[in-house]
Amino acid sequence: MFLKLAWRNIWRNKRRTAITLGSIFFAVILSTLMSSIKEGVYVNMIKNSAGDFYGYAQIQLKGYNEEKTLDYSFEFTDEVKNAVGSESAIEESLPRLESFALASHKTVSKGALVVGVNPEKEKLGTQLHNRVVEGEYLTQNDNEVLIGDGLAEYMNVTVGDTIVLLGQGYHGVSAAGKYRIKGIVKFGSPEISKQVVFLPLKTAQTLYGAENLITNLVLQVNSANAGIKVAKKLKTQLPENLVAYDWQELNPGLVKMIETDRTEGYVFMFILYLVISFGIFGTILMMLAERKHEFGVLVAIGMKRFQLAVLVWLEVISISVLGAIVGVIGALPVCFYLYFSPIKLGDELKQMTEEYGLEAVLQPSVAPEIFINQGIIVFCLAATIAIYPLIKLLSIDAIKQMRS
């Protein structure tokens, strides 16, 4: 009965209700779109920087994550295989040998991240073969390389050209090799594309004098959260000399950047919700001023003050939740459209975005919690603001209100 009365009461003054709904609607739709786009950017950042290359979890020898040298290589033993195989969330394990080298072609040289991979496993895990934009993919017995498109552009090389790799191998041995470029690959993260060179794992082990050794075992799981859980479990199951890292531990700079950006977003959203709060509070003040006589009559004929206070509280909640629902419904089609048709940044925006190592694409997230959170926040705001009329009406003077 109280809900029914509250619903009828808010439509007695349609203009006031429409104004309040409008302010809540626009604030909610803006905050929802902003949250959706920001979370989408974070998801793409994590996917491009971690999931598509480094993986959401890795196994390394203790010390490798700090120094990144081949001296911290290890063998992919049966004990490690059994520990990895015991986790059902792990879809594939990808052995890699990573090191740095000077890549040269004619008079051009650039530092490169050399990654020895198992071509067949990478097909199943990171879908590396789908990133070949020119030339062909590697096979296990190739003595050729794949090179990032950014690095290829910098060195002015293409498929069929030859590059020389010079570096330091396992335990200080010299590492030098001359390789034909078999294909060019493109990653979502321009930073990776500007420095990466892929070799078959056996070829990389021969180059660096690290037979049967790997520097990291990339664990393919279906999400960033799954990577965190898997790494946490494996830390107690691996041999003492090995450690499992999740993507946050492997990319602390990325995590810090996301946290900083989120904080900036919270400030903007605080301003939006401050607008909502003033709109709701203004509605309450108008309601209390316009209905003084009505409230006095209701108390005079026997309605309890607490019941009256609850009725008005429900009115405020109803109009706020209705505005939030309409705002979320308004944001849904826009978010889904941009999700399936992401915005590709161009010109200066593209250049600026890629300087941060990010893909120049805006694709919002459509995770349900983004939309649900908006309704929860507006409900909490309305419930808090509605305490004012609740207190006010509990001490109402019926005679005074009827004379006003």
DSSP codes of every residue in 92-156: EEEEEEEEEEEEEETTEEEEEEEEEE-HHHHHHTT-GGGGEEEE----TT--EEEEEHHHHHHHT
Phi/psi zone of residue 269: left (φ > 0), alpha (ψ -120 to 50 degrees), beta? alpha
Long-range contacts of 365-373 (CB under 8 A, 24+ apart): 365/36, 365/37, 365/39, 365/40, 365/42, 365/43, 365/335, 365/339, 366/36, 366/335, 366/336, 366/339, 367/39, 370/32, 370/35, 370/36, 370/39, 371/32, 371/328, 371/331, 371/332, 373/35
The pLDDT of residue 352 is: 63
φ/ψ of 113, rounded to 5, equals -90, 110
What's the residue count for the chain?
404
Number of separate domains in the chain: 2
Which phi and psi angles does 346 have, rounded to 5°? Answer: -130, 170
The span from the CA of 319 to the CA of 315, in Å, is 6
Same domain for 21 and 103? Answer: no
Same domain, 210 and 69: yes
Tell me, yes or no, whether 325 and 380 share the same domain. Answer: yes
Could you tell me if 27 and 122 lie in one domain? no
What is the distance between the alpha carbons of residues 359 and 191, in angstroms, rounded to a whole number?
Answer: 9
**Residue 295 sits in the same domain as residue 211:** no
Which backbone phi and psi does 374 adopt, to 5 degrees?
A: -65, -45
In 3D, which of 175, 61, 65, 67 has the Cα closest to residue 116?
175
SS3 223: coil
Nearest to 114 by CA among 134, 97, 136, 89: 97
275: closest CA among 370, 378, 376? 378
Residue 404 has what pLDDT?
63
Domain end residue (candidates: 209, 230, 250): 250
Q: Does one domain contain both 297 and 161?
A: no
pLDDT by residue for the chain (404 residues), tens only, comes to: 777 877 787 777 788 788 878 878 888 888 888 888 888 888 887 877 776 678 889 999 999 988 888 999 999 888 888 888 888 889 888 999 999 999 999 899 999 999 999 999 988 888 888 889 999 999 988 999 999 999 999 999 999 999 999 999 998 888 999 999 999 998 877 788 899 999 999 999 999 999 999 999 999 888 888 889 999 999 888 888 899 999 888 888 888 888 888 888 888 888 878 877 887 787 778 777 777 787 788 778 877 888 888 888 888 888 888 888 888 888 899 889 888 888 777 766 666 665 555 666 778 888 888 888 887 888 788 888 888 887 877 777 777 777 66
pLDDT at 319: 83
Amino acid (1-letter code) at residue 302: G
Of 250, 278, 294, at which residue does a domain stop? 250
Q: Are residues 329 and 186 in the same domain?
A: no
221, 250, 279: which is the final residue of a domain? Answer: 250
CA distance 218 to 55: 6
Distance CA 206, CA 203 (A): 5
Extract the tokens encoding 349: 């925006």
In Å, how far are 30, 295, 340 from 362, measured between CA atoms? Answer: 16, 52, 11
Shared domain check, 173 and 278 = no
Token representation of residue 53: 């290359």
| Six token digits for residue 23 | 């302010």
Q: Are 157 and 106 in contact (CB under 8 A)?
A: no
Distance CA 20, CA 279 (A): 6
CA-nearest of 174, 153, 151, 160 to 103 is 151
Structure tokens at 11: 């439509």
How far apart, in whole angstroms, are the C-alpha atoms of residue 120 and residue 139? 8
For residue 113, what are the domain limits?
55-250
Angle between helices 368-385 and 387-394 (to 10 degrees): 30
Same structural domain, 8 and 69: no
Q: Is 381 left (phi over 0), alpha (psi -120 to 50) or beta?
A: alpha
Residues 160 and 245 in one domain: yes
Is the CB of residue 61 less than 8 Å from the CB of residue 73? yes
Same domain, 389 and 294: yes
Decide if 105 contacts 155 (C-beta within 8 A): yes
209: which strand partners? none
Q: Cα(first)–Cα(last) distance of the chain, in Å?
A: 28
